[in-house]
Amino acid sequence: MARNKKKIVILGGGFAGVECARQLETKFANNPEIELVMVSEDNFLLFTPMLPQVASGMIETRHIVLPIRAICHNTKFYEGRIKNIDPHGKLVNLWGTGDKRSISIHYDFLVVALGSETNFFGMADVEKNAYTMKTLNDAVMLRNRVIDMLEQAENETNPILRKSFLNFVVVGGGFAGIETAGELMDLLLDARKHYPTILEEDLKVVVLEALPMILPGFNEKLAEFAKDKMTERGIDIRLKTAVTSFDGNEVTTKSLDETPSDPVDDSVVDSIRTKTLVWTAGVTPVNTIKRSMFKTDKGKMVVNEYLEVPEFPGVFAIGDCALFIDPETQRPYAPTAQIAEAQAKTAANNLAALIESSQKEEFEYHSKGQMAIIGKRTGIATFLGMNISGFWAWLIWRNVYLSKMATLEKKTRVFLDWTIDLFFDRDISRLKLMKKEEEKEYKVLDEVDDVW
Ligand SMILES: Cc1cc2nc3c(=O)[nH]c(=O)nc-3n(C[C@H](O)[C@H](O)[C@H](O)COP(=O)(O)OP(=O)(O)OC[C@H]3O[C@@H](n4cnc5c(N)ncnc54)[C@H](O)[C@@H]3O)c2cc1C
């Protein structure tokens, strides 16, 4: 391998990492002096906006993942879990497993795009018993769980137990929570036809949100529209409500409302019997970053206006794992795919500027709008400066997100899934899979391993 090559290593194959790699591939297409490398745990990009539709069985599991090798043709890809980053030695160390050797990768420039993971805010019982909605595995698990609950409820004679099977609680009123609740209701109503003893009124989906509104960041009127539509469909949305515990059978909540609507019943503590709680109430950067040598704030990497780590020039952080303050609100940007991709473009431009000794650009974000679907062919959207709700917003959502899928093959597969869903009922076969992946036995890096 030529020693004088400059190696740009991108950590993370999510929206930020993949977009950055694709931008750099274009910029350095004919430059043999630049080597692009990506390291990620999964060998695919997960298209998260469609994850709730996998959980509801509308889209087939593999149709929302894009293999990195198929979309980043000129980037050398390593599938592996990053153990740590040494910014002084400019090394990234990967865990080995029983099957593969641990290795170290040297870099000249680094882009950290390791995203985030579910934040349980220290509630160990919730972490142990809740379902989550962050990975492909989560969506498959949730779908199986819902079908299993219908199967159990159908023949259950104990009314209390039966009720707890048919109560589904989603915690978090953001994108992930609201879209999951909407899809969950669609799946339940569709699947119910196969369960003669289960009536529509037996099914209950509850959304618990600590803030006074759902979908923060959306125009207030649109968020209110979404709430009303979902309530009309039988989804019980409880605002200013915080979860305090979940033991797998019962979720306890605390009202954060200082002025209760009913002054006689001013109880602040409540509970719901449920076997299925889906936790989407927050994300936090991954541990690799939290315990790294980089300066962090609330776990996120602190970057300057160029998205570069001030202490380590040539190291950039983008996406959910980077802390960048919105100059308008003076608060960190929300963790969204749109912002992750915008930051990826700026980081790629700034890497090119560093290599070509030209002027770096400051990161500026101009939102192209926001969209969410809330189930039953209904959505809300802020698009081209207009606020749209209902069927048209749902249609815009579909068109925009379909156009964002990187390959024609996956676009076609998703489009076909949507079309089939118009004519047929959802499949209610439950696939037996384990709730959690077995822990991998990691092998530590030792002297015999290579530096690549
Ligand atoms: C259900 C759901 C719906 C959403 N809907 C929307 C939406 O409609 N619109 C929107 O804009 N945003 C949406 N989001 C948010 C969006 O998905 C994130 O903001 C976006 O994925 C952030 O991109 P990222 O590249 O920073 O991180 P990610 O996409 O999370 O990518 C991080 C990558 O790093 C890898 N990684 C992490 N740790 C390691 C390690 N130690 N070793 C190796 N690899 C590692 C991961 O495997 C992953 O590939 C949604 C999120 C969810 C969960």
Å from CA of 448 to ligand 1 middle: 34
Tell which one of 11, 37, 39, 40 to mutate to probe ligand 1, the residue whose CB is within 8 A of the most ligand atoms.
Answer: 40
**Domain chopping of the chain, boundaries:** 6-41+80-118+283-367, 124-281
Q: Which residues, other chains included, contact 416 with Cβ-Cβ below 8 Å and sequence gap of 6+?
A: none
pLDDT at 50: 96
pLDDT at position 266 is: 56
Nearest alpha-carbon partner for 430 in 157, 167, 154: 154
Distance 192 CA to ligand 1 centre (A): 32
Per residue in 94-112, pLDDT (tens digit) is 998 777 788 899 999 999 9
pLDDT given for residue 447 in this prediction: 45
Per-residue model confidence (pLDDT) at position 448: 45
68 CA from centroid of ligand 1 (Å): 14
- The finding on whether 343 has its CB within 6 A of some atom of ligand 1 is no
pLDDT tens-digit map of 162-213? 999 999 999 999 989 999 999 999 999 999 999 999 999 999 999 999 999 9
Query: CATH classification of 124-281, choosing from 3.40.50.170, 3.20.20.30, 3.50.50.100, 3.40.50.10860?
Result: 3.50.50.100
Q: Which residues contact 217 (CB under 8 A, 6 or more apart)?
A: 334, 370
Domains 6-41+80-118+283-367 and 124-281 share a fold: yes
Q: Where do the H-state alpha helices sit in 247-390?
A: 287-290, 337-355
Pocket test for ligand 1, best of 336, 343, 383 (most atoms within 8 A of CB): 336
Q: What is the pLDDT of residue 43?
A: 96
- Is 314 near ligand 1, meaning CB less than 6 Å away? no
H/E stretch holding 132 reads strand 131-132
CA of 284 to the centre of ligand 1 (A): 11
Tokens 């999510």 correspond to 14
Q: In what order do the strands lie in the sheet with 378-383?
A: 369-375, 378-383, 386-390
Domain 6-41+80-118+283-367 in CATH 3.40.1190.20? The answer is no
Per-residue pLDDT, 451: 64
**59 vs 10, 181, 271, 318, 353, CA distance in Å?**
30, 16, 33, 29, 41
Nearest to 209 by CA among 229, 181, 184, 248: 181
Tokens found for residue 183? 């899809």
In the predicted model, residues of the chain with pLDDT beneath 70 are 1-3, 260-267, 433-452
Ligand 1 binding pocket includes 288 (Cβ within 6 Å): yes
Establish whether residue 129 lines the binding site of ligand 1, counting it when its CB lies within 6 angstroms of any ligand atom.
no
Please tell me the predicted confidence (pLDDT) of residue 367.
85
Residue 348: per-residue pLDDT: 98
pLDDT at res. 98? 74
Question: pTM of the entire structure?
Answer: 0.92
Question: Is the beta carbon of 337 within 6 A of some atom in ligand 1?
Answer: yes
Confidence (pLDDT) at 446:
54
Q: Of 269, 273, 270, which Cα lies nearest the Cα of 250?
A: 273
- Confirm or reject: Cβ of 52 under 6 Å from ligand 1: yes
